Structure 1
Amino acid sequence: MPDQVLANSDLQSALVEARQAYIDRNPKSFARHQEASQAMPGGNTRTTLHNAPFPLTVVRGEGCRLWDADGHEYIDVLGEYTAGIYGHSHPVIRAAIDRALDHGWNYAGRNAYEGELARLIVDRIPSIDLVRFTNSGTEGNVMALAGAKVFAQRAGRAKATKVMVFHGGYHGGVLYFVSGGSPVNMPYDYVVAPYNDIEGTRALLAKHGEEIFAVLVEPMQGSHGCLPGDPDFLRALRDETRARGITLIFDEVMTSRLSPGGLQARLGIVPDMTTLGKYIGGGMSFGAFGGRREIMELFDPTKPDSLPHAGTFNNNVLTMAAGVAGYGEVYTPDVADALNARGDRIRDRLNAICAKNDVAFQFSGIGSMMTAHATTRPIRTAADIASSNQDAKELFFFDMSAAGIWIARRGFAALNIMIGEAEADRFVSAVEEFVTARKALLQP
């Protein structure tokens, strides 16, 4: 029997054992899942958090640690998919929320925090002259596209009704292109281009340019596997869209954490609009869209023919107060630089371990975001990500859970500022234990 067939057979056996150990170790989480399934489809209200055979139930978080219903303790390297950058119950943010609660909430009026948070964002993100708040990054992208479409129409581009997006892109639950699109996507006419392919994208722009009102792109694709955008590719998008009068939108819902001014500042590439979300709300529900003054002034209610943008909780007191404290006092530019430098060091250590053991396993990403891939191919394209052995990645997830490391089922990690050297070393050691123990199953 060929070695590869033997390895695949052994991998399946190891995966079966790991799944069963997970089931045996977590009876209370299983019971909670069964209870939830009586009132929610599949016991779920957020698809990302489902994993087979059942997801664990978290009952407490403190600092950089989590505890599940069965009493197991984990080092949290997932960081709520980039939203949990402050760890759990950060004292500065907790104090800000307590102060806000002391004065009541749900005002149906402006509050003292929203203008301050807006100013913090405008001062830090290069592309944002003006900003408006939403309740999620998904909403931010929906509103950015709506504004960009009207901006094109009022500029005389009547034929511009299409949006260019990219294979592997994720811009929220209704703008999902990771696996070829979603039946619940917004009903735009999409031109789906190949990410990191300059010539392929240029050809599509040449063909459809007059019909496209916006190009929506992540400067690093997050949900697709921390696939960094090649700087030359992103610069080509900037040049092409500027020449054609197309609004370039950077979805920095995840990547704004990667430098004090977002990944756009790190790269030196300024789009027309930027969407934000996740951690900027201090751990509360948050989203935003902003950009060039002439685009954002479409939403100015003091002007004739302004665009409506409603939302009961757009400026909710808890998010605004937590955001001012978190983004303004905790995640300062110095802290952002330090966290992302730590992430680069950790990813380098992990990849050095994989290389030393000559396994088909590696980590891609930038700064404090990274994803595991069970392949030897450099991670530059969608095809490289598709080459990853999904069974090996699932085994990695189960082994990390058993080792007390909280990570996404897809191998995604987003570090939080509460992770110190000891926790970083424990994460690296857990990966090393996985690589050495499973080496025979991870052969190229």
Structure 2
Amino acid sequence: MTIATNTDTSLSQALTKAHEKYSGKNPKSYEAYIEATKSLPGGETRSSIFIHPFPLFIERGQGTDIIDLDGHTYKDFVSDFTSGIYGKSNPVLKKAIIEALDNGLQLGAHTKAESLLSSEICSRFPSIDLIRFTNSGTEANILAISIGLHYTQREKVVVFKGGYHGSVLSHFGEEQHQGGGDLKVPYEFIVCPYNDIAGTSSKIQDHSKDIGVIIVEPMLGAGGCTPGEPEFLKDLRELSKKIGAVLIFDEVQTARLSTGGSQKLLNINPDITTLGKFYGGGFAFGAFGGKKEIMSLFDARQPNSISHGGTFNNSPLTMISGLTAITQILTEDNLNKLNELGDELRNILNGIFVKEELPFKITGLGSINQIHYIPIMSLENKREGLDLFFFYLLEKGFWIAQRGLISLNFEMTKNDIIEFQDAVVHSARAVKKVISELI
């Protein structure tokens, strides 16, 4: 269970030892993984949660804890990549879901819950006059882009380097794939520099009449939790109007930063907003909504309306769970408290990292953050440093994404945050100690 490296360094040696210790502690997960490889390529079906050298297999969750097959308990600080904002066993959601089950698993028809949920979302986002539901953020973004191109009768889509809009809509650059890559929906993309309006304007100037859509995350999520600068996002709003393109805000993650997402905090109204993850109350969910003149193209009462199907778009369980979550849990007070915890955690840790000259930093907004390893010397492997930190943190009973994502949830207490903060600092110190052997 080792990672191949070009240089025999203390960093790679320490990571090899961490892999060996991890492997020795998790024989049941390893056995389950080997069995999974017989029917799943690489033993998994969701690339973002794969762990090298092999993933843990989780048996159950309770509150903010997850328990693996070997009986280890971890505090979950990744919260299913922001979607698990409600924790593992919220009693309000559980009660609503059980009651919905009593009315039938899948009805294949309209229910009042879907219009109630849509009304609640529209009331929170001034930019959304009308909305349609999907089954994921990926699907929502594909449909939003497609309707934007149809509306403008143009073909090109502006995206940004480091952007992620779903499993077939990522734009990280080959350097982040180490020779691999991503499948992409075959739109005509123009990839522009994030947080650089001058560079963006320069890159699109020769294509302005062909650009139908500009899609942007108010904060790069999978691209490293890099917040969009307010002026950059406001300038994009003006630029899209100038060239006649539809501006899409991908708020699949950032919608949890306030009851009206990042756009409420920034006072920017895009033409279309995409949502997902937690708005389904824990079930698979996506949505796209925006200006009436765009979304009315789906109005089945109109001649030549655009068809948009999907067996589970209005699944009764998802509609009830989402409605319950929004009205009873995803409140302004709860979101403010959670985001304040995230801001405080990020500021405290960054202060300690600077003071102790630890090779890490954290970026993000509110309750969504990303820890980054900062190589001290050019010969260090950036991925190895972060991986070593991940395994040290796992040893202390805390679960984050191996890539460094940290996402808080409502089940967490102030004490959980303090314990996590201490574990992060100790793990960062341990990595620095290893690095010191290279100097």
Q: One fold, TM greater than 0.5?
A: yes
Q: Which residue of 2 aligns with 1:420?
A: 413
> Contact 1:128–1:274 (CA<8 Å) still a contact in 2?
yes
Q: Given residue 300 of structure 1, which amino acid in structure 2 is its aligned partner?
A: D
Q: Which residue of 2 aligns with 1:36?
A: 36
Q: Which residue of 1 aligns with 2:298?
A: 299
Q: 1:161 aligns with which of 149, 155, 165?
A: 155
| 1:26 corresponds to 2:19 | no
Give a deviation string over 1:237-293, Cα, whole Å, max 9, x none.
111001111000010101100111101111112111010000110110000000111
Q: 1-side partners of 2:351 and 2:340: how far apart? A: 17
> Contact 1:114–1:320 (CA<8 Å) still a contact in 2?
yes
Q: Which residue of 2 aligns with 1:437?
A: 430
Q: 1-side partners of 2:235 and 2:384: how far apart? A: 36
Pairing 1:115-264 to 2, within 5 Å after superposition: 115-153=115-153, 160-180=154-174, 182=181, 184-264=183-263
Give a deviation string over 1:365-402, Cα, whole Å, max 9, x none.
0000000111289xxxxxxxxx9822110111111111
Q: 2-side partners of 1:56 and 1:327: how far apart? A: 32
TM-score (norm 1): 0.92
Q: Given residue 375 of structure 1, which amino acid in structure 2 is its aligned partner?
A: I
> Contact 1:351–1:363 (CA<8 Å) still a contact in 2?
yes
> Contact 1:8–1:441 (CA<8 Å) still a contact in 2?
no
1:10 CA displacement: 1.6
Extract unaligned runs of 5+ from structure 2.
Answer: 1-6
| 1:286 corresponds to 2:289 | no
1:52 CA displacement: 1.2
> Alpha carbons of 1:388 and 1:82: their partners in 2 closer, same or farther (altered >3 Å)?
farther
| 1:322 corresponds to 2:321 | yes
1:25 CA displacement: 0.8
Q: 1-side partners of 2:166 and 2:86: how far apart? A: 22
Q: Given residue 333 of structure 2, which amino acid in structure 1 is its aligned partner?
A: D
Q: 1-side partners of 2:173 and 2:114: how far apart? A: 37
> Contact 2:170–2:182 (CA<8 Å) still a contact in 1?
no
Q: 2-side partners of 1:322 and 1:400: how far apart? A: 33
Q: Which residue of 1 aligns with 2:4?
A: none
Q: 2-side partners of 1:187 and 1:232: how far apart? A: 30
> Contact 1:248–1:272 (CA<8 Å) still a contact in 2?
yes
Q: Which residue of 2 aligns with 1:78?
A: 78
Q: 2-side partners of 1:338 and 1:183: how far apart? A: 36
Q: Given residue 195 of structure 2, which amino acid in structure 1 is its aligned partner?
A: N
Extract unaligned runs of 5+ from structure 1.
Answer: 1-6, 154-159, 378-386
Q: 2-side partners of 1:212 and 1:364: how far apart? A: 31
Q: Which residue of 1 aligns with 2:387?
A: 394
> Contact 1:260–1:337 (CA<8 Å) still a contact in 2?
no
Q: 1-side partners of 2:310 and 2:124: how far apart? A: 25
1:183 CA displacement: 5.0
> Alpha carbons of 1:55 and 1:330: their partners in 2 closer, same or farther (altered >3 Å)?
same
Q: Which residue of 1 aligns with 2:396?
A: 403
TM-score (norm 2): 0.93
1:235 CA displacement: 1.1
Q: 2-side partners of 1:29 and 1:116: how far apart? A: 42
Which runs of structure 1 show a deviation greater than 6 angstroms over 4 or more consecutive aligned residues? none
> Contact 1:357–1:439 (CA<8 Å) still a contact in 2?
no
> Contact 2:388–2:431 (CA<8 Å) still a contact in 1?
no
Q: Given residue 361 of structure 1, which amino acid in structure 2 is its aligned partner?
A: F
> Contact 1:359–1:442 (CA<8 Å) still a contact in 2?
no
Equivalenced residue count is 423
> Contact 2:375–2:382 (CA<8 Å) still a contact in 1?
no
1:442 CA displacement: 5.2
1:441 CA displacement: 3.8
> Contact 2:389–2:431 (CA<8 Å) still a contact in 1?
no
> Alpha carbons of 1:388 and 1:238: their partners in 2 closer, same or farther (altered >3 Å)?
farther
Q: Which residue of 2 aligns with 1:4?
A: none
User: SS at the partner of 1:121?
Assistant: helix
> Contact 2:375–2:385 (CA<8 Å) still a contact in 1?
no
1:63 CA displacement: 0.7
User: SS at the partner of 1:82?
Assistant: coil
Q: Given residue 109 of structure 2, which amino acid in structure 1 is its aligned partner?
A: G
Q: Given residue 194 of structure 2, which amino acid in structure 1 is its aligned partner?
A: Y
Quote the sequence identity (%): 43
| 1:102 corresponds to 2:95 | no
| 1:58 corresponds to 2:52 | no
